[in-house]
Chain A
């Protein structure tokens, strides 16, 4: 074995160990969720030794999980759709239209990165409360619509499209809407998918804002709902893990389907966030 192969082998070993450390909590959640409560507290081993779905059945039948799913899917989807459409249009204007104050507006978008979201919670809560949107989907959605990274990423991609293509559309009789929806958007389906995925995941995983704005159990999203189950049933490890896995399932499945796009999205947004 040459020195290079030995090095590769050692490196692969280290990566494998790191991956196992990373995945262990997930694996542990799965094994715990498939055990009875008695077995969990009686010093069970690491390997799967029981396939008990009682916790899943109990959670699905006694909690409001299906409604929380619906709330999470609806608020995340609506947020994603609005963020993408508004972000794309804003980016198009900043990238392609000439108007006074364009640069200042772009700087404002970039500067909004520097405001920590939690600093706005109190103001946003008061605003939502005044608007009568506490305990509603729109109360969850509206404050989450400010995603400057979408504008910045779209703008960078729009800037990269050759000027001649824009001019060709103008000569062909197209206007700004034709340009945006028949040229700029179709040329950026990849980045649109990537941005949709990261926006959806971050909205789905958002805990604190929905926790603040929703008090009614029937309006909760999944991450908020999980905490309620904990309260109602006391510490029941199997149920907690079953819930956590059910909550994460759509994201995990989504990740497995769109793995490549998610990786792309993370890389792009990491590049922007620096």
Chain B
């Protein structure tokens, strides 16, 4: 399978007066697994469909390898797509579904047979080739859809939320299978999902989209460790990051003293290189796993719900200011429900954002 990168230059898409994609630049390197992630309506599926050629590009250029494919037909772009709804042809057998594109391309029978059987072998579908899609389980149908993509030996695989219709257990299993498939084929893959766990586990590069813009891109853990704005910080990581409103109390030698709203007795000293003005309102971000229960001074949390998951537990509560807060505890059965706990962020694990959501470093 030949791998080729995908490059987008100032790509835009409008539906009438509505701008859905507002100038996206993007480089997906060859052989990489890229994931577009973002909330519903952020434009991630539209962007994928534009790469596939299923949506026209209003402005900008799309390159697959060195070829400008912006105005080429979907079939000529060298891409294959796996849809959320599988989009299998219900009147054809599994074999014929996989052979469809090759038959249209008038490939020799022997070649078709070889390719279909090879793909069926990779996807463990060899025993199901004569069945109709309706006779298969959800996971098997999705495998057929992937098989249909594999036989075409495309330059780029496109996945549009392919696991959304599967139950939780199957989703985890298919996720692993996709990761293995990527390793085996070495092809460039672009994957759209709203599930950030899928994004974190599958991606070489994540593109976080919102409002038709790429908010940030990078390796999953880079986005987790170093989000460039509040949206990315909140979107990457599960459970989501806590955000507390605060104000700048004073400037110190290497940063700022910060006072949390509703908890005037506690100040935090945070290192920032470009401190905001004194008295400026800011937002602090702290991940649930970075809040540690302490006996001393800290954030007082009234715990109202405790999610005990076995290995870890998530304690949900509120600060005195009314801001909601979640903190994580390792181990089981803490019995914190209904209690007031004091937590402190681990040093160096507090993110500072300005009032517009941009990161202050």
Residues of A within 8 A of B (CB): 162, 164-165, 167-174, 178, 183, 186-187
Contact = CB atoms under 8 A, between A and B. Distances in A.
Contacts of A168: 81, 83, 87, 89, 148
A88 B83 CA distance: 27
A126 to B, nearest CB: 46
B57 to A, nearest CB: 16
By secondary structure, the A interface counts as: helix
A172 B74 CA distance: 8
A165 B85 CA distance: 9
Contact of B75 (A162, A165, A172, A187): A172
Interface in B162-200: none
A254 to B, nearest CB: 25
B54 interface: yes
Contacts of B83: 164, 167-168
A221 to B, nearest CB: 36
Contacts of B90: 187
Nearest to B54: A167
B48 to A, nearest CB: 12
B147 to A, nearest CB: 13
B291 interface: no
**6 closest Cβ pairs, A-B complex:** A164-B87, A172-B101, A173-B75, A168-B87, A164-B83, A186-B91
13 contacts: A162-B85, A164-B84, A168-B81, A170-B54, A171-B52, A171-B54, A171-B80, A172-B75, A173-B101, A173-B104, A174-B75, A174-B104, A187-B91
Interface in B51-93: 52-54, 73-75, 79-81, 83-85, 87, 89-91
Contacts, number: 50
A164 B52 CA distance: 12
B6 to A, nearest CB: 15
B111 to A, nearest CB: 15
B149 to A, nearest CB: 9
A171 B83 CA distance: 11
A187 B80 CA distance: 23
Q: Mostly helix, strand, loop or mixed at chain B's interface?
A: loop
A165 B54 contact: no
Contacts of B52: 167, 171
A183 B148 CA distance: 16
Nearest to A173: B75
Interface range, B side: 20 to 34
A165 B91 contact: no
Interface of B: 52-54, 73-75, 79-81, 83-85, 87, 89-91, 100-101, 104-105, 148, 152
Contacts of A173: 75, 101, 104-105
A171 B53 CA distance: 9
A183 B90 CA distance: 9
A168 B74 CA distance: 10
Contacts of A164: 83-85, 87
Contacts of B80: 171
A157 to B, nearest CB: 14
A178 B106 CA distance: 13
A178 B73 CA distance: 15
A1 B230 CA distance: 75
Given A167-B81, A172-B152, 12 more contacts: A164-B87, A167-B52, A168-B89, A169-B100, A171-B52, A171-B53, A171-B80, A172-B75, A173-B75, A173-B105, A174-B75, A187-B90
Nearest to A185: B91
A172 B79 CA distance: 9
Nearest to B104: A173
B262 to A, nearest CB: 50
A73 B94 CA distance: 40
A178 B85 contact: no
Contacts of B101: 171-173
B76 to A, nearest CB: 8
Contacts of B79: 171
B301 to A, nearest CB: 46
A165 B89 contact: yes
Contacts of A172: 75, 100-101, 104, 148, 152
B139 to A, nearest CB: 18
A171 B74 contact: yes
A59 B90 CA distance: 51
A171 B91 contact: no
B226 to A, nearest CB: 37
A164 to B, nearest CB: 4
A183 B96 CA distance: 12
Contacts of B73: 170
A164, A167, A168, A178: residue with the most chain B Cβ atoms closer than 10 Å: A168
A168 B101 CA distance: 9
Nearest to A168: B87
B162 to A, nearest CB: 12
